[in-house]
Amino acid sequence: MKKNVLNVALAAVIVLTTVAFTANSVEIKEIDVKNSEVNWRGEKVTGFHTGTVELEEGHFIVEDGELKGGEFTMDMKSINVTDLEGENKGKLEGHLKSDDFFGVETYSTAKLVITSAAKKNDGTYGVVADLTIKEDTHPVTFDLEWNENSASTELSIDRSKFNVRYGSGSFFDDLGDKTIYDNFDLMVNLKF
Amino acid sequence: MEKQINAQASNVAWKGKKVLGSHEGTIDLKDGKFHIENDQIVGGEFVMDMTSITVTDLKGEDKAGLEGHLNSDDFFGVANYPASKLVITSVAKKDDGTYGVVGDLTIKDQTHPVTFDLDWNDNTATTKLTIDRSKYNVRYNSGSFFSGLGDQTIYDNFDLNIELKFK
């Protein structure tokens, strides 16, 4: 009985020490959204388009110097097209914001929550996250380059999983060369 | 006109990533051809030999272990599904001279559209293709099928680097 009490006391000390140690070593790295950059590229059979979208807010969670988590919110109303000008630019931006694509009036933000991260041998992090676009949530995975004051990644997203249907061969037959690829790429540069 | 692929001289390299690392290897093309009309690609058909999956970044027991696992029902179940197939359904030339291609890809009897850009040369065609294995019932340690995998997660997307030589 005495031994049990001692064990419980010892366990309590260990738990408290661990909690205290962990609490001390957790760091929230807020993203400097003004100086961070998210570029997108979408391909279709007969060409492609490029542009940007703005980060609303974001942070990484770092424990004992290791990346453990993070949360990022994109402002979907900020979708911008950079490879067109004038009327064509305005038209494509309007189309991307419409319900054919991202329906930004209804779904004004998209969100990424890191659920798992681990360092590979080459120093990059393998990351698993839940991505929510148009209220559909699916896991995504990507490799993240991690530096002192910045982090960068390239991420391929399958829009067909998030109900972004326009010109997608996963929803419509016989699109032929009107097909727009399901995968679009994000080139992300984050500054802390 | 049909342009037959020289399967022996062609090369298909794959790369698969997981949270904690990556692996790579090759797979053999069984046969393939492009359909050409008026000097433009209008179609094509390609068959992969799924029993030829090879791992190139490991050696000995580890190599054989991973190859066996990839061949098993956890991944591609090659005893039941010895071939996968890509049939081009639509092609158009882009301004930069590459072709935008839409194809139907069949793996494990599941067919889904895939899209990719194809570089077309005199005697070769090359492309990089990202495939989402979760669409083809290739489930092992996929976050699309299992929860709580954490850093044991293997990415759903794998990449193919393809270099086709013509006969």
Among candidates B18, B100, B157 on the partner chain, residue whose Cβ is nearest the Cβ of A44: B100
Measure CA B44 to chain center.
15
Position B122 confidence tier, pLDDT thresholds 50, 70, 90: confident
How far is it, in rounded angstroms, from Cα A144 to Cα B17? 12
Chain B contact for A169 (CB, 8 A cutoff): yes
pLDDT tens for each residue of A67-84: 999 999 999 999 999 999
Q: How big is the A-B interface in CB pairs under 8 Å?
A: 92
ipTM of the complex: 0.84
User: Residue A14 pairs with which residues in a beta bridge?
Assistant: none
pLDDT tens for each residue of B62-82: 999 999 999 999 999 999 999
Half-sphere exposure of residue A38, counting CA atoms within 13 Å on the CB side?
A: 24
Chain B contact for A113 (CB, 8 A cutoff): no
What kind of architecture, by CATH, is found in domain A26-191?
Beta Barrel (2.40)
How far is it, in rounded angstroms, from Cα B116 to Cα B96? 14
Q: Is B100 exposed, middle or buried (0-12, 13-18, 19+ CB in 10 A)?
A: buried
Structure tokens at A167: 């010109």
pLDDT at B32 over 80: yes
pLDDT tens for each residue of A129-143: 999 999 999 999 999
Enumerate the residues of chain B whose CB falls inside 8 A of the CB of residue A169: 102, 113, 115
Measure CA A112 to chain center.
4
How far is it, in rounded angstroms, from Cα B158 to Cα B154? 10
Q: Do A126 and B150 touch (CB under 8 A)?
A: no
Half-sphere exposure of residue A164, counting CA atoms within 13 Å on the CB side?
A: 27
pLDDT at B124 over 60: yes
The pTM assigned to this predicted structure is 0.86
Q: Which of A130, A183, A185, A186 to mutate to test the interface with B (most CBs of B within 10 A)?
A: A183
Q: Which of B157, B158, B160 to mutate to test the interface with A (most CBs of A within 10 A)?
A: B157
The three-class DSSP label of residue B67 is helix
Nearest of A158, A126, A123, A157 to residue B18 by alpha carbon? A126
Contacts 24+ apart (CB under 8 A), A139-142: A139/A115, A139/B143, A139/B144, A139/B153, A139/B156, A140/A112, A141/B17, A141/B19, A141/B143, A141/B153, A141/B155, A141/B156, A141/B157
CA distances from A77 to A96, A103, A105, A161, A186 (A): 10, 9, 8, 20, 17
Q: Searching chain A, which residue's CA lies closest to the CA of residue B18?
A: A126
The three-class DSSP label of residue A145 is strand
